[in-house]
């Protein structure tokens, strides 16, 4: 069987980018069971309620929903079990130090296969206030309108 190359996205947490100000991102490996990998290969997972907790110098991923494998037997996994993240000791140290600050948390952003291995992109984030969320949406909308105006001008110049 040929080895997989590149990055295949499984799940994304778009809500995290809306609710949090992303400070720093990290890529981590995941410790998974066989049925979890098979379920992920079918492209099914949800990161919406997920978070990372650091205990005893180890990183654990909580509340990420990986549905049970449809052809699994009694060896099937539980859908919302906690999963260990594989990070370097220095990265865990940085995350522990920064996550102790008020308002900081660690959230999953994306779950994907990279060269055949399951990886997760996690971010050190700070919660946004309601007015920050509105400001971000306003900026995004203004950017979109400006791009539309520029493209309309370019279309008129070509014609």
pLDDT at 40 over 80: yes
Share of the chain above pLDDT 90, in %: 21
pLDDT at 126 over 80: yes
pLDDT at 62 over 80: yes
pLDDT band at 13, cuts 50/70/90? confident
pLDDT at 73 over 80: no
SS3 content of the chain, % helix, strand, coil (to 5): 35, 35, 30
The pLDDT of residue 141? 92
pLDDT at 142 over 80: yes
The pLDDT of residue 76? 67
Interval 38-45 mean pLDDT: 82
Largest CA distance in the chain: 66
Q: How far is CA 51 from CA 44, 61, 73, in A?
A: 18, 6, 28
Please report where in the chains the tokens 């907790």 appear, as a residue.
53
Q: Sheet with 104-114: list strands edge to edge.
A: 7-12, 104-114, 117-127, 20-30, 83-86, 58-62, 51-55
């Amino acid at each position: 069987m040929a080895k997989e190359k590149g990055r295949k996205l499984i799940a994304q947490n778009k809500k995290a980018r809306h609710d949090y100000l992303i400070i720093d991102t990290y890529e981590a490996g995941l410790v998974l069971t066989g049925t979890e990998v098979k379920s992920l290969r079918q492209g099914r997972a949800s990161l919406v309620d997920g978070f990372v907790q650091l205990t005893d110098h180890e990183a654990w991923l909580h509340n990420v929903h990986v549905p049970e494998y449809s052809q699994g037997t009694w060896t099937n996994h539980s859908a919302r079990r906690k999963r260990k993240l594989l990070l370097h000791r220095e990265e865990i140290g940085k995350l522990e130090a920064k996550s102790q600050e008020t308002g900081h948390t660690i959230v999953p952003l994306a779950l994907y296969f990279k060269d055949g291995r399951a990886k997760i992109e996690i971010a050190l984030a700070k919660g946004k206030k309601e007015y920050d969320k509105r400001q971000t949406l306003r900026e995004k909308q203004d950017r979109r309108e400006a791009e539309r105006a520029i493209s309309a001008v370019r279309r008129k110049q070509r014609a």
